[in-house]
Structure 1
C-alpha cells in the first residue's frame, strides 16, 4: 500500500534523527573539551612554552574542524526534521487529517467566481487544501491558477500531466525536495527582494573605488609584513590602516544601500541553491522536468551559490570586531558592494525566471499528490470535438477512498434531469463530475479507472446564498447565476452546467415555470447540463431542439426500518421520496 511507503519512511527518518542527535551531542562534548584545552595551551604558550604554542595552533585547527562537522550534523538534523514534517503531511492524506492542514487557499477565493465555493476548489476541505505542497507564494499562486473552471489549452494540460506522471513514481524525491523547501518560511514571497536585486541600480560603486579597494589592501598587507620583518617603519602600515578605515566610513552609506537586499537573504538563497543542486542530480525522463532541472542546476545553482557566498560575507560584518578589522585591513564592504554589482550585471535578470521555474516544480509536485495518496487514479484523456464526458468508477477526491462510492458516466450534448430523495447523492454526483474536470484542467490525476473529456467551461449553481448588504434574496441570487449561464451560452462555447435543486427559493408553481424556461435555454448542442430537482413535473420536459433531455435518479432503500443509500446513479426518474421519514427521524412528525 502507498501508506506503507510513508509509514516505513517515517520510521527510517526517526531512526536517522536519533542517530544524528546522538552524534551532535558527541560533537558538543568534543568542542567543549577542545575549547578548554585551547585556553590552557595558549596560557602556557604565553608563559613561554613553545611546544604549548604549537599544540595551541593544532588545537585551534581541530576546534575549527569540529565546528564545521557539528554544523554539518545540525544541518542534517534540520533536514530530517523537515522531512518528518513532510512525511507527516503525506500520511495525513490517508487518515483524513489533511483537512487540518494550514494552507486552505482562502486568499484565492473570488466573490465573482461561485464555482470556488460550489466545487470546494478553495477553502476548508477543498481541492487546493488536499493538493497544495507549495512553500513559496509563487508556487501557491501557480496551483491556484491551475485550478480553473476555464479549460486551458490541451497542450498545457498534457505538459502538466507528463510532469505529474513522472513525479508520482518518484515519491522519495518529492519528499526530499519538499523537505529542502521547508528551509523557506511558509508562503515565502520573493517579489520584494527580486525587485530590489533586479532593479536598475544607480548605486554601483565607481571603477576608481573598485581599483582602490584592491590596491590599498595589498599595500597594507605588504607593509605589515615588511614592518614585522623590521624592514619598514610601523607608522606606514598604521597610516594605511587608518586611511582604509576612513575610506570605508566615507562610503559606508553607499555600500550599505547597495548591500541592503542581501542582509535578510542568507537562509533563502542557501535553500534555493540546495533545491537547484538536488534537481540537477536527478535524471528526469519527462522533457518538461528535464529542461527545468537542467536550467536550474547548470545556471541557477552556480549563480545562487555565488550570491549565497557573498551574502555570508556581507553578514560577517554584523560582528563589530570583524566589521572594524575587515574594513580597516581589506576594505571589506567595498569589495562586497563591487561583487554584488557585478552579480547584478551578470545574473540578476535571470533570478525571477529561476524562482518561477521552482514554482512550476512546486505545482507539479502538488499535482502528483493524488497519485501519491490514492490507490485508484488515472490521468484524464483530453478529447476533441463535440462535448463529451466519460468516466469509469469516478469518485470524489475529497471523500475517504474507502467510503466513496464510484459512479460511471457517459455524457454528450444533453440535458440530464436528476431526481432522488434527500441525501441520496445528487449534489455529490454533480460536484464530483465538475470538480474532477477542474483537476483534469490542472493536469492532475482524477480518482477514476478511466476519465475522458473535451474542454468545457464549468458553470454551477449549488451553494447559493442571499446577500443582505446588497438586498439580494436566495432566489434572486440563483436567478443571477442562471442568467450568467444563459448569457455565456450565446457565445456557443462548450459548457458543463450543474444546477442543484433549481429555483428552490420560490414557490412550486413559479419554480416549475421558471425551471422549464431556464432548462430550455440551456439545452444546447454545445452544452452538457445537469439539473437536480424534487419536482417530478420537470421529468416530462420536451427538448426544444434535437438535444436529448434524459432522466436519471438516485434512490434509497430500507433495512430494519432504517433508511440507507447506495449512492449509485440509475436510469429514469425517481419513484420514491423520503422527506416524511426524515421528518420523523428528526422528531418533527
Structure 2
C-alpha cells in the first residue's frame, strides 16, 4: 500500500540517520578514550622526569595542567557517551517501528502478560494481552504507569463521547508530533525496570517523619557542624582553645549519627534506589511541560502538574534529583569523615522532609500524567502508521454498529475487509460457514475495533459508528483444573454473566463463537436457539457464529430481527481456498470431510 510505504520510508530514513550518527559517535568515544589514556601516560612521564630532576615548579604546573586536561576529557567522554546512548535508543525506536509495519511485532518482548485476566469479560478472547496481542502490537509505553494506563484504556472502555472526542483530538495531534513522541519514549527507556511498581517511592513521598520537620532540628544540624568546624580551627590551627573541645564535639556527632542509624539508612536507601527513575521522570516532565500543544486535553494535563505556587513539576522533581544525588556520596568510604563533621545524613533527612512538605503529595499525579501521555502516544502511533484508518463516531442511539471496510488491526499484511452493520430492527447477526472460513476472526475483528474505538484510537475501517455498549465475549473457554470446572460449565458461567449484564443497565454487545460445543448436537441446537432468543429479548446486540446450519431458520421466526450471513470456500485443482468475504444468507458449503481426508483419514 502506497500510504504504508510512505510511513516505512520515514522510519527507514530516521533509522539510517541515527545509525550513521551512532557509528560516528562510537569512533569519537574511542578517540576521546585514547586521548585520555595518552594524557594520563604523558602526565605521569612528565611528572616523573621533573621530580627526578628536582624541577618542582615544572612538576606542580604539569600536574595541574595534565590533571585539568584529563578531567576535561573525562567530562567530554561521559557527555558524548550519554548522547550516544540517546542516539542508540532513537535508532532502536525506529527499528521497532519498522518491524511493526513489516509485521514482525510478535517478537517484541513486552506482551503485557501480567495484565492477562481469564475472567475478564472480553480481553482473553480478543487477544488484548499476551503474545500476538493488541497490547504487544501498539504499546510504546516504558514506565509502569504508562503500561498500566494503556491497560486501562484497553480493558475499561470509556462510554463518554466528550472524553473520547477529546482523546481523538489529542491522538491526532500527537500523531503529527513524531519527533516529540520518539524523544518522549527515548527518555522513558532509561527507566531501570518498566514493570517496577513505584508504590514504595509513593509511600515514602507521602509518609511523614515529624522529628526531621521540627524547626529546632533543622536549626541544630546547621549550627552544630559550624561550631565543630570552628572549634577544630581554633584548637588545631590558631591554638586558642583546648583540643578536647573539638574531640568532644566529634564524639557527639558520632553518637547522633548512631541514633536510629538503621531506620535512617533504610529511609535514605529507599529513595536512593529510585535515583535513576527520578532523573528519568525529570527528563520526561521537562519534555512534556516545555512543549506547547493545541489539544485542550493535553493543556489540562499540563495545568494539573503546576502546584499552588505556580511551580512546574519538572522544577520540583529536579530539586529532588539534586537531593538524591547528595545521598549517593554516603556510599563512599572516603566521605565518612565529612558525614561525621557535617552530620550529612541529618542534613539529607531534613532537606528531603522539607521537599516532601511542598511536593511529596504530588508525585503520584506527575507519574499518572506521564503514564497517560505514554498511553496516548502509543495510540497516536497507530494513527501515524495507518493514516487511512478512521476515527470512530459515537451515537447516543441504541443498537448501532455500522462499519465499512472493517478489518482486523493485527492482520494488516493479510487483511480482508468486510462491511458489517447491525442496526434496528435487526440486532443479531448469525454467522455460518465451514471450518477456517473466517467466522471467529470476524467476531474478533468487530470486538477489537470496538475496544480501540472506546479507547479513543482510530479503527481499522473506512467508516465506523457505534452506540455505547458493554462488550462481552464467549469464544475461547477452557477447563479450569484449579476450580474443577469443565469447559462446558465454564461456558455456561460466562453465558450466565452475559445474560445478567444484558438484564442490567446499559446495552451489551456480545460475541458468541460456537456456543454449547461441549454437548451433543441436539442439545446444542436447542440451547443456542433459546439463548439467541433470550438475548434478543433483552437490551443487547451482537454476533453469533455457528456450524449449525439449521439455526439459520431462526431468521424467519424472528421476522428479520436476526439476520443470516455466511462465509464460503471454493476449490481449485483439488485445493481449498477462502476469500473471507461476508455474504448474506446461510452457508451452503461444508469442508469437514475434505479436511479430514487431507489429514490422511479416509474411510
TM-score of the superposed pair, with normalisation by structure 2: 0.89
2:459 corresponds to which residue? Answer: 446
2:384 is aligned with 1:376? no
2:501 is aligned with 1:480? no
Once residues 45 and 469 of structure 1 are traced to their aligned partners in structure 2, the CA distance between those partners, rounded to angstroms, is 80
Structure 2 SS opposite 1:110: coil
Once residues 227 and 43 of structure 2 are traced to their aligned partners in structure 1, the CA distance between those partners, rounded to angstroms, is 33
Structure 2 SS opposite 1:125: coil
Asked if the contact 1:166/1:286 (under 8 Å) is kept, the reply is: yes
**Which of 268, 288, 291 does residue 259 from structure 1 map onto?**
268
**Which of 107, 112, 125 does residue 118 from structure 1 map onto?**
125
2:74 is aligned with 1:70? no
2:409 is aligned with 1:402? no
Query: Given the superposition, is the C-alpha separation of residues 151 and 290 from structure 1 closer, same or farther in structure 2, using an over 3 Å criterion?
Result: closer
Cα deviation for residue 241 of structure 1 reads 7.3
2:108 is aligned with 1:101? yes
**Which of 216, 219, 230 does residue 211 from structure 1 map onto?**
219
Once residues 203 and 190 of structure 2 are traced to their aligned partners in structure 1, the CA distance between those partners, rounded to angstroms, is 22
Once residues 294 and 346 of structure 1 are traced to their aligned partners in structure 2, the CA distance between those partners, rounded to angstroms, is 17
CA RMSD of aligned residues (A): 2.8
Asked if the contact 1:204/1:258 (under 8 Å) is kept, the reply is: no
Structure 1 SS opposite 2:398: coil
2:3 corresponds to which residue? Answer: none
Equivalences for 1:502-517 in 2 at 5 Å? 502-517=515-530
**Which of 339, 357, 361 does residue 349 from structure 1 map onto?**
361
Once residues 476 and 326 of structure 1 are traced to their aligned partners in structure 2, the CA distance between those partners, rounded to angstroms, is 67
**Which of 576, 582, 587 does residue 574 from structure 1 map onto?**
587
**Which of 479, 491, 494 does residue 507 from structure 2 map onto?**
494
Once residues 332 and 151 of structure 1 are traced to their aligned partners in structure 2, the CA distance between those partners, rounded to angstroms, is 50
Q: Is the deviation greater in 435-444 or in 113-122?
A: 113-122
1:250 corresponds to which residue? Answer: 256
Asked if the contact 2:503/2:538 (under 8 Å) is kept, the reply is: no
2:290 corresponds to which residue? Answer: 281
2:172 corresponds to which residue? Answer: 165
1:271 corresponds to which residue? Answer: 280
Query: Given the superposition, is the C-alpha separation of residues 425 and 5 from structure 1 closer, same or farther in structure 2, using an over 3 Å criterion?
Result: same
Query: Given the superposition, is the C-alpha separation of residues 235 and 57 from structure 1 closer, same or farther in structure 2, using an over 3 Å criterion?
Result: farther
Structure 2 SS opposite 1:251: helix
2:94 corresponds to which residue? Answer: 87
Identify unmatched segments of 5+ residues in structure 1. Answer: none
2:327 corresponds to which residue? Answer: 314
Q: Is the deviation greater in 458-467 or in 302-311?
A: 458-467
Cα deviation for residue 315 of structure 1 reads 0.5
Q: Deviations over 1:18-53 (max 9, x none)?
A: 122222222222323333455466665795623543
Once residues 533 and 113 of structure 1 are traced to their aligned partners in structure 2, the CA distance between those partners, rounded to angstroms, is 23
Once residues 58 and 422 of structure 2 are traced to their aligned partners in structure 1, the CA distance between those partners, rounded to angstroms, is 90
Structure 2 SS opposite 1:444: coil
Once residues 187 and 280 of structure 2 are traced to their aligned partners in structure 1, the CA distance between those partners, rounded to angstroms, is 7
Cα deviation for residue 488 of structure 1 reads 2.1
Q: Deviations over 1:150-207 (max 9, x none)?
A: 5433333223322222221122222211111111122132111111232122341653
Structure 1 SS opposite 2:285: helix
Once residues 397 and 457 of structure 1 are traced to their aligned partners in structure 2, the CA distance between those partners, rounded to angstroms, is 20
Asked if the contact 2:118/2:124 (under 8 Å) is kept, the reply is: no
Query: Given the superposition, is the C-alpha separation of residues 213 and 485 from structure 1 closer, same or farther in structure 2, using an over 3 Å criterion?
Result: closer
Structure 1 SS opposite 2:124: helix
Number of aligned positions between the proteins:
585
